[in-house]
Structure 1
Amino acid sequence: MTTKEIITASIIHIVIPLLGFLLFLSLNKAMKKNTQNAPEIELFTVFINYGILLIIVLTELFWKWSGIASLGTFYLIFGAPIIMGLIILRNKGKLSVSIYHKSIFFSGILYFVITPLAFITIYFLE
């Protein structure tokens, strides 16, 4: 394995998830400080789903496909839409509670636009 490959793999599989987790913790802290009944689980789930999507896209573009990438893709196609749909339904009546509820609601809706566009883009780029 070359140095470039090690750096690429480390960025995709260690640095990006770590930065995402730190961003989640920061946003979660601000959300809990400013909002009662903060949607922590929904926020974490949105971060996980979009994080997996980002890692799949980066893996396809800059790294080697693997069995884990296939499992992630399978989850994004069959599992995540159900979970994001539940997040949409759960936050539908809470749009006026806080900007966090509203953002999580729209993040759930945008999943159904962003994910197919990401897969189509990957398909045509490769």
Structure 2
Amino acid sequence: MKNIFLAIVIHVIVPLIGLLFFLFLRKKIKEERVADPPIAEFFILFATYGGLLIVAITTLFWQWSGLASLGSLYLVLIAPFIMIFLAYRMKNNKIISIYHELIYYLSTSYFIIAPLTFLILFLISDK
């Protein structure tokens, strides 16, 4: 029973909370009529940081799987290029709104947050 609950939390509840928060943020951006709204950029950030969270939770509380390996490959091999693209795109646009600025800082912070997360997970996980 505990395993089923844990699996539901990791693979359903956490992504659902992220999706609901993204939808709330999207609605807020539209209500504020932000110029050049960065909706797709926020979706990419939510998916990437959400994937990092899912990998961390899976490593700490669940069993490793092929899907976790695919997520980790994305986070290590593909996400850095996407984050560079987002940071470059928002570098001059960060003056448009707080949302553009937030995307800029979150995309550049990925290069600190992701390696630290993987390092900490490596150090505290069972070998």
TM-score interval w.r.t. the shorter chain? over 0.9
The corresponding residue for 2:65 is: 66
Is structure 2 residue 102 aligned with structure 1 residue 103?
A: yes
TM-score by length of 1: 0.97
Q: Which moved more, 1:76-85 or 1:28-37?
A: 28-37
The corresponding residue for 2:27 is: 29
Q: 1:6-85 to 2 correspondence within 5 Å?
A: 6-34=4-32, 35-85=34-84
Cα shift readout 1:68-97 (whole Å, capped 9, x = no counterpart): 000000000000000111000110001110
Moved over 6 A (4+): none
CA distance in 1, matches of 2:93, 2:30: 16
Which residue identity is paired with 1:45?
A: I
Which residue identity is paired with 2:16?
A: L
CA deviation after TM superposition for structure 1 residue 59, in Å: 0.2
CA distance in 2, matches of 1:104, 1:28: 13
CA deviation after TM superposition for structure 1 residue 27, in Å: 0.5
RMSD of aligned alpha carbons: 0.5
CA distance in 1, matches of 2:58, 2:17: 17
Which residue identity is paired with 2:51?
A: I
Query: What runs of 5+ residues in structure 1 fail to find an aligned partner?
Result: none
The corresponding residue for 2:89 is: 90
Cα shift readout 1:18-67 (whole Å, capped 9, x = no counterpart): 00000000001101221121001100000000000000000000000000
CA distance in 2, matches of 1:28, 1:105: 17
Q: Percent identity among equivalent residues?
A: 43
